[in-house]
Each structure stands twice: as structure tokens, then as C-alpha cells.
Amino acid sequence: MTITQLQKRYQALKNQGLNLDMTRGKPSPEQLDLSLPMLGLVGADNYTSEEGVDCRNYGGLDGLKAAKTLFSAFLEVEESEIIIGGNSSLTLMHDTMVNAMLHGFTDKGPWIQQKPKFICPAPGYDRHFNICHHLGIEAIRVENGPNGPNMDEVEALIANDPAIKGIWIVPKYGNPTGGICSDEVVNRLATMKIAANDFRIFWDNAYTVHHLNAEQPTIANILQACQAAGNPDRVFLFGSTSKITFAGAGVAMMGGSTNNMDWVRSHMKIQTIGSDKLNQLRHVRFFKSMDAIHQHMAKHAAILRPKFDMVLSVLEKEIGGTGMADWNNPQGGYFISLNTRPNRAKKVVQLAAEAGVKLTGAGAAFPYKNDPEDRNIRIAPSLPAIGDLEKATEILAVCIQLADMEG
């Protein structure tokens, strides 16, 4: 196809007046429908938890017992190693970082007094990096790949610089890479020698049960690995039901050593009397067990898999084998990560926006929004209807071709 033909095709697609938002990994209404029965499980005559707590009243700083039981299995920690939060694991991560800044962990004192730095494997989750930027924590990029972060880079960084206080990890179905931390990566994270004695891994297991295929990889248990290595306080684990039940009204949780959980509670008790226990009760009644969560997630997969397949098939049909871009076929999670040839991603995102398809800003998956090669584009297939997704991906593919030919 000549560039003139391509430009005509782009113009024709633009003229369709599409208006699609693919900027964020939002569940579709059909996915949210799966959890509707939950809304009926707490009503005027059953607001008391199984252990006898009136869930309407104050109290329960770190969560209902039943919620701890269910979600400790989910996070793969002990019941003594979990705290139940509100509706957002982002809030738990943010607040943990804030508390580290203001109070610190050890005799080394508050991070804020130590010009802290944080390792940000990228491409990664923009909201993680934004927490660092906002708090004035220097973000240091390391490469993020299909097996997790490049551990050679990580180990070289942390061995001698006590100002490096931690690392962000999305261990399974990474956002946006789809990467899955290998046993070797987990083991190296748990055992590596670190200059800072108050270093913390922020382990955001956002997609732990969010499989797209029947085959469901497991990953090594980071907390157990840290404990076995004599570094029990090295990791904070985070999770939520935001992409399991309701994205805006789920239950968030965090895990770690009892020492770390005591530290969290010592700050949390100043900030709140406790999170919404009625919503915790809805969740524990809806699921009861991990088996039920897995069955529920299979229904999500049945809705999501065809959407991912649609994006992949259109990309393959339009630009497969051209070398203009490569992309992954994730086994789970919410994103496809696409790389153009260098210096084209911003152009593609802009062309797509002009044709009515809003994508996450180019570079968003990198610290300081700076993709050094300007190649990475995050595709979020979950929200649009499948027909819209077909059109949107066609537009994206045409924009990639156009940007590539215009150079």
C-alpha cells in the first residue's frame, strides 16, 4: 500500500467518527455483571459477621476475621500476615510509601531524610511510578521483561547504594508487559544483598488469578522466600478484588511479616477506625473460598479472551510480519504491550486520538513518562465491545503503518 492509499484509508476511518477510550484497564459492564448477586448478600437482617461482629458499627481496624481467612489464601500468606483495607490497593501502596517517607522502618529513620530512590522496572504501571514522582522519590528504571525485572541490573544497583529503598513488582501478568516473575527472579529478590537495611519490595499482585487461558502459571511465594532467606521484612504484598468483583467497590488487602503488619497498623490506627466491614462481608459471603474465586475468574476469562484475540488477530492481519511492530500474547492480566520501531509511539498515539481512539499516553509505562526509545504502546482491550475493539485496532494498525511510512 502506498502512503497516499494509507492516508486515504486513515481519513476514511477517521470519518467514521469513532469515540473510544482505551486508556485504562477497566472491566466491561458484562464483567461487572458477574458479581451483581453480591449486592444482595448483606441486607436488613444479615449485617452481622459469622464471628458476631455488627458490621455496621465502628471497629475492626485491620479487617473482619472471615475476610482475613479468605484473602490470606488469596495473597498466599498466613492470617496473621494480612490486613484488609478499603476499596483500593493503590491507596494501601501509596499510604505505605507515605508512612515510609515520614516514619521509616529501622533506626535509619524516615526515608524522606535520605534522598530516597526506588527501582521502577519498565514498562510498568504508571500509577506506581506516579507515587514516586509525587513524593519526590527518584525513580530508577531497570528493564522489565517476560520473566520480570532484569535482576543483573537490580542487583548491581542495590548492592552499594543505601538510598535505594525499594522496587515495584507486578509479579504475574505484568502491567503492561504480561511478564511473569520466574522462580529465579523471586529467589534473587528474596536473597540479594542490599546496602539499605530498610529496603522494601512493593509486590503488587494485581492479576494473580486473572488468567486468560486454561493453563494457569503459578509463581514462587515471595514472602516465604524472603522468610527462608532470613529477610522476612523485605516485602509488602498487595492485592484487591477490583478486577474480580467491582472495580470501584471491591476490597483491597496487603500482606507481609507480622512485624511489617504491626508497623502498618501502628500508622493505620491514626488514620482510620477501620474500613467498610459491610463490603468485606458481601465479599466473603459471595466467595466463601478460593475455589469460588477461581470459578468466578473463569467467567471473566470467557469474556476477556475473545477481546484479546480480536486485537491480536487484527494486528496480525494488518501488520504481522512487517517488522513495524511487535507485541505479546499475554496469558493473563489486562494489557497487550506493543512496541513500534523507535521514535514512533507518540506519533501513533496522536494519530489514533485524532481518529477517535484514545490510548494511554505514549511513555506512560516508564518513569517520568519517558520511554527512551519512544516505542511502547499499552493496549487495554477489556472495556470496549468487541465490534468497537475491531475498529479501534484497525485504526491503531493503520496509524502504526502511517507513522512508520512517514518516518
Residues that bind a copy of itself (CB under 8 A): 24, 26-27, 29, 32, 35-37, 39-40, 42-44, 47, 54-60, 86-88, 90-91, 94-95, 98, 101-102, 112, 127, 130-131, 134-135, 242, 246-249, 267, 270-279
332 touches 174 (CB < 8 A): no
Q: Which is nearer to a copy of itself, 131 or 261 (CB)?
A: 131
Q: What are the CA-CA distances from residue 220 to residues 108, 119, 257 (Å)?
A: 30, 21, 17
C-alpha cell at position 373: 526509545
Nearer to a copy of itself, 279 or 340 (CB): 279
| CB neighbourhood size of 316 (10 A) | 13
Give me the sign of the Cα torsion angle 11, 16, 19, 21. negative
Cell of 134: 509525587
Nearest-approach distance from CB 112 to a copy of itself, in angstroms? 7
Compare residues 27 and 356 and give the one whose CB is closer to a copy of itself.
27
Shortest gap between Cβ of 7 and a copy of itself (angstroms)? 36
Provide, rounded to whole angstroms, the least separation between the CB of residue 127 and a copy of itself. Answer: 8
- The smaller minimum CB distance to a copy of itself, of residues 63 and 256, is found at 63
CA pair distance 348, 217, nearest whole angstrom: 33
Minimum CB separation from a copy of itself for residue 194, in Å?
25
Rounded to whole angstroms, how far apart are CA atoms 181 and 177?
A: 11
| Smallest separation (angstroms) from a copy of itself to the CB of 30 | 12
Q: Is 291 exposed, middle or buried (0-12, 13-18, 19+ CB in 10 A)?
A: exposed
Alpha helices in 34-175, H assignment, sequence order? 65-75, 89-103, 126-135, 151-158
CA 158 to chain centre: 24
In the bound state with a copy of itself, the residue whose beta carbon lies nearer, of 10 and 202, is 202
Q: Which is nearer to a copy of itself, 55 or 140 (CB)?
A: 55
- Judged by beta carbon, residue 55 or residue 338, the one nearer a copy of itself is 55
Q: Nearest distance from residue 395's CB to a copy of itself, in Å?
A: 24
Closest distance of CB 59 from a copy of itself, Å = 7
Lookup result for grid cell 488487602: 253
Nearer to a copy of itself, 117 or 128 (CB): 128
Query: What's the CA gap between 176 and 227, in Å, rounded?
Result: 29
Q: How far is CA 298 from CA 209, 237, 240, 285, in A?
A: 9, 24, 17, 19
| CB of residue 321 to a copy of itself, shortest distance in Å | 36
**Rg over CA atoms, the chain:** 22
- Pairwise CA distance, residues 354 & 114, whole Å: 45
| Cβ at position 96, least distance to a copy of itself in Å | 11
Q: Is 177 helix (H, G, I), strand (E, B) or coil?
A: coil
Instruction: Give CA–CA dist 366/221, Å, rounded.
Output: 27
For a copy of itself, the closer of residues 188 and 210 by Cβ is 210
Closest contact distance (angstroms) between CB of 90 and a copy of itself is: 6
- CA dihedral sign, ordered 50, 53, 55, 59: negative
CA dihedral 272→273→276→278, nearest 10 degrees, is: 180
Give the residue with the Cβ less far from a copy of itself, 246 or 366.
246
